[in-house]
Structure 1
Amino acid sequence: MKENKYDEPGFFGKYSQMPRSLGGLEAAGEWADFRALLPELDGRRVLDLGCGFGWHCRYAREQGARSVVGIDLSANMLERARAMTSDPQIEYRQLAVEEIDFSEGEFDVVISSLALHYVERFDAICRKVYHCLAPGGTFVLSVEHPIFTALPAQDWHYGPQGEKLHWPVDRYHEEGPRQARFLDHDVVKYHRTMAALVNAIIEAGFRLRKLSELEPTQEMLQRNPAWADEVRRPMFLLAAAGKD
C-alpha cells in the first residue's frame, strides 16, 4: 500500500496553507530554476507525475502544450486540481507514480516536481519515463537533495542559544527509507545518493542535460530572507534529461 498522507485531513489541511499551495508556482522558491530546465512546450504532449494541485499542468497549457495528463495518488489533490482547472485538454488521473504504464512514445515531455523522493524505486520510474517518452523528449524533475534527505530529522544542529551551527550529514551511503517530520506529521521519504540519482537517469537511457542545486539569488534573498539557509546547504536537486 503506497503511503498517501495527502488524503489525511490534518496533513492536507496544513499542506493547503503552505505558500506554494496558496500562491502557486511563483510562490515556490525552486520554480525559476525548474522553469529554466523545461523545453519548448508549444504543441507538446505533457505528463506530470505527482501533479498535486495541477499548477504545472495549467502552466504547460498556458505555454501551448497540446495536451496534459496529470497523475496523483491523492484524491484530495485531484479534487482541488479539477476545481482550479477549466481546460478539456488537461486530464487528471488518480494513480500512483509507481503504477504508470503508458504506451511507448506517448508523451513529448514528462515533468515531476518534488514527488519522486516519496518513491522507493527511482530507477524503475526512470525506465518507465524513458519508455513513454517519444524520441527527442525531455524529462525534468525536482527532488529533495541527498544532503537534505540523509538524516531523518532533516534539521540543523543547534547551539546553546538556538543558533543554527551546521547541517549534519550522516549515513549518507545508507540508501533507503527515512521517517521524516513534515508539517507536524511523520512521512516516509527515500534517501538516495547523488550518484544513485544521476546513474539511474543515465542507465535508463537518458542523456543528462543539466543539473541544478538551487543556489539562491540575491533577488530571492531580498524577497525572502529565510532563503539564506539554502546558501549554507542545498535543499533541492533539479535535473533535465533527454531521450535521443
Structure 2
Amino acid sequence: MKQNIYDNQVFFEQYTALRDSGVTANDFVEQPAIKSLLTAIEGKRVLDLGCGAGAFAKYCVEKGAAKVVAVDISKNMIEKAIKENPHKKIDYLCSPIEELDLHNQTFDIIVSSLAIHYIEDYPKLIDKIKSLLITNGEFVFSTEHPIVTARKEEISNWVRDSEGNKLHWAIDHYKQEGKREGYWYVNGVVKYHRTVSTLINTLIEKGLTLEKIIEPTSIPGGIELRPKLIDEERRPSFIVIKAKKN
C-alpha cells in the first residue's frame, strides 16, 4: 500500500503550518535550486509530481506555461491546491505517482519536489518519467540528500560537544539502501534511502542524459530569516538533479 502521510490530519496540520509560514528550507534552499535548473517555461507543458498545495504549479503558469498537470497522492493537498492556487491552465489530479495514467500525454518538463524519496521502486519511476517526456524534454527533481537519509537509527546525526555545540555530521549505513522509518510530526513516516550513485546511474541506465547536480545552500537573505540554514554549508539537506531525454 502506498504511504499517504499527508492525509493524516495531525501531520497535515503541522506540515501545512510550517510551509505556510514561508520561512522554510523549501523557500530558501530547495525551491530556488529547482527553479534555477529550468530553462524557459513559456509555452511548455509541465508535469508536477508531488505538487502539494500547488505553489510550484502556479509559478509555472505565471511564467507562461501552456499547461500544468499537478499530481499528488494526498486528497488534503489537492483540495488545498484547488482552493489556494486555482488556474484554468492547471489540472489537479489526486493519484499516487506510481499509478499515474495520463492517457498518452507527453510533457516538455517534468518536475518533482521532495517526493521521490517516498517512492519504493525508483527504476520503474524513471521508466514512467521517460515515457512521459518528449524528445529533449527536461526532468528536474529534488530529494532528501543521501547523507541525511542514510542512518537507520532514529537519532540526531549531529555529534555535539558537552555544551551542545555541533561538532560534525555523522553518517552510517550509507551503502545499505532501502526503507527508513521515523518520526516527523507523527510516527511511521517511511522514506527510501538511495546512494548518490544510484540516483545518478539509474538515470543514465534508463537512457537519460545527466545535465547538472546541485547540493544547494540558502539564497541571500534566507539565513537572516531562518538562522539554522547556516547548517546547509556544513551538510546539504537536499540534492537537486537535472536530466534530459535525447
Fold shared per TM-score above 0.5 = yes
Q: Counterpart of 2:33 in 1: which secondary structure?
A: helix
What is the aligned partner in structure 2 of residue 131 from structure 1?
Answer: 131
After TM superposition, the structure 1 stretch with the greater mean CA deviation from structure 2, 96-105 or 79-88, is 96-105
CA contact (8 A) 2:55 2:85 kept: no
Q: Counterpart of 1:173 in 2: which secondary structure?
A: coil
What is the aligned partner in structure 1 of residue 83 from structure 2?
Answer: 83
CA contact (8 A) 1:220 1:227 kept: yes
> In the TM superposition, what is the alpha-carbon distance from 1:157 to its structure 2 partner?
2.2
CA contact (8 A) 2:50 2:72 kept: yes
Q: Residue 177 of structure 1: which of 179, 184, 187 is its match? A: 179
Q: What letter matches 1:17 in structure 2?
A: A
The verdict on how the C-alpha distance between 1:123 and 1:21 changes in structure 2, with shifts beyond 3 A counting, is: farther
CA contact (8 A) 1:105 1:134 kept: no
Matches within 5 A, 1:53-92: 53-92=53-92
TM-score by length of 2: 0.92
CA contact (8 A) 2:28 2:219 kept: no
> In the TM superposition, what is the alpha-carbon distance from 1:168 to its structure 2 partner?
1.0
User: Structure 2 unaligned runs (5+)?
Assistant: none
1:69-93 deviation per Cα after TM superposition (whole angstroms, max 9, x unaligned): 1111100000100001231110111
Q: Provide the rounded CA distance (Å) in 1 between the counterparts of 2:236 and 2:23.
A: 22
Q: Provide the rounded CA distance (Å) in 1 between the counterparts of 2:75 and 2:105.
A: 27
1:172-218 deviation per Cα after TM superposition (whole angstroms, max 9, x unaligned): 00000001222353311100000000011111211111000113455
The verdict on how the C-alpha distance between 1:75 and 1:217 changes in structure 2, with shifts beyond 3 A counting, is: closer
Q: CA RMSD in A?
A: 1.9
What is the aligned partner in structure 2 of residue 208 from structure 1?
Answer: 210
1:76-115 deviation per Cα after TM superposition (whole angstroms, max 9, x unaligned): 0001000012311101111101112335561111000001
1:23 aligns with 2:22: yes
> In the TM superposition, what is the alpha-carbon distance from 1:219 to its structure 2 partner?
3.9
> In the TM superposition, what is the alpha-carbon distance from 1:24 to its structure 2 partner?
8.7
Q: Provide the rounded CA distance (Å) in 1 between the counterparts of 2:135 and 2:28.
A: 30
User: Structure 1 unaligned runs (5+)?
Assistant: none
Q: Counterpart of 1:160 in 2: which secondary structure?
A: coil
What is the aligned partner in structure 2 of residue 193 from structure 1?
Answer: 195
CA contact (8 A) 2:23 2:225 kept: no
The verdict on how the C-alpha distance between 1:75 and 1:194 changes in structure 2, with shifts beyond 3 A counting, is: same
> In the TM superposition, what is the alpha-carbon distance from 1:158 to its structure 2 partner?
2.8
Among the aligned pairs, what percent are the same residue? 40
Q: Counterpart of 1:166 in 2: which secondary structure?
A: strand
Q: What letter matches 1:215 in structure 2?
A: T
1:20-68 deviation per Cα after TM superposition (whole angstroms, max 9, x unaligned): 3343998342222111101211111110000000111111100111111
Matches within 5 A, 1:73-112: 73-103=73-103, 106-112=106-112
What is the aligned partner in structure 2 of residue 231 from structure 1?
Answer: 233
The verdict on how the C-alpha distance between 1:166 and 1:59 changes in structure 2, with shifts beyond 3 A counting, is: same
Matches within 5 A, 1:147-166: 147-152=147-152, 153=154, 155-166=157-168
TM-score by length of 1: 0.93
Matches within 5 A, 1:3-18: 3-18=3-18
Q: Provide the rounded CA distance (Å) in 2 between the counterparts of 1:235 and 1:30.
A: 9
Q: Counterpart of 1:17 in 2: which secondary structure?
A: helix
Q: Provide the rounded CA distance (Å) in 1 between the counterparts of 2:23 and 2:83.
A: 14
Q: What letter matches 2:197 in structure 1?
A: A
After TM superposition, the structure 1 stretch with the greater mean CA deviation from structure 2, 160-169 or 229-238, is 160-169
CA contact (8 A) 2:28 2:222 kept: no
